[in-house]
A and B are shown apart, each in its own frame.
Chain A
């Protein structure tokens, strides 16, 4: 997994590539915890994310809750596999997916 970020005032875009699973999730969790302070719009660009497991879903839920208090979180460019994961788990209803 690789993480890239683009900061534009209070807007933060985070591009996550590769696999978001048990092994890699802690790294993204630490990164987001440190990075979302003061952010009003968080964009997660998943165009190069292959898949995510429940370890990844847990981070998305935690981050969504944190962003609900300070602004918004948008997830962009998910592939078919990830879309299906969001659908079967009902995450499609609690996340903003564009």
Chain B
């Protein structure tokens, strides 16, 4: 298990992505899964950066764990900001025309569709969001 605790800012999304990529490369992670995970980090860490401590800045922890049989990576995002369950939001209507479309909720929807599992809990004053991707 590896862990990184860092200020939850948009500027740090790249640092988090690089940190996770280092672990993935050690596992010979397929390129497509690596890119899907990078997108998930952009959405999830980006959400924390925008909303968790707004207008202040606080820390977030990103934990990377590897599970075997079948080989998968579990990435946990933890923050102490306002309680927020991104999974409580209804999925966007993806059949509307360009004019009728709204962009809200698309990010988390993409994460749901590309990861194998996603869970949320609020515990001990912390938002804990976990994603799992089989490699």
Contact = CB atoms under 8 A, between A and B. Distances in A.
B13 A93 contact: no
The dominant DSSP class at the A interface is helix
A37 to B, nearest CB: 20
Contact of B110 (A61, A89, A93, A94): A89
* Majority DSSP secondary structure for residues of B touching A: helix
A75 to B, nearest CB: 13
Interface string A62-98: 0011001000000000001100110011100110000
Interface in A40-58: 50-55, 57-58
Interface residues of A, number: 25
Interface string B19-61: 0000000000000100110110011001001000000000000
Given A22-B42, A23-B10, A23-B14, A54 B107 contact: yes
B69 interface: no
A21 interface: yes
Interface residues of B, number: 27
Contacts of B98: 61, 64-65, 68, 94
A15 interface: no
Interface of A: 19, 21-23, 50-55, 57-58, 61, 64-65, 68, 80-81, 84-85, 88-90, 93-94
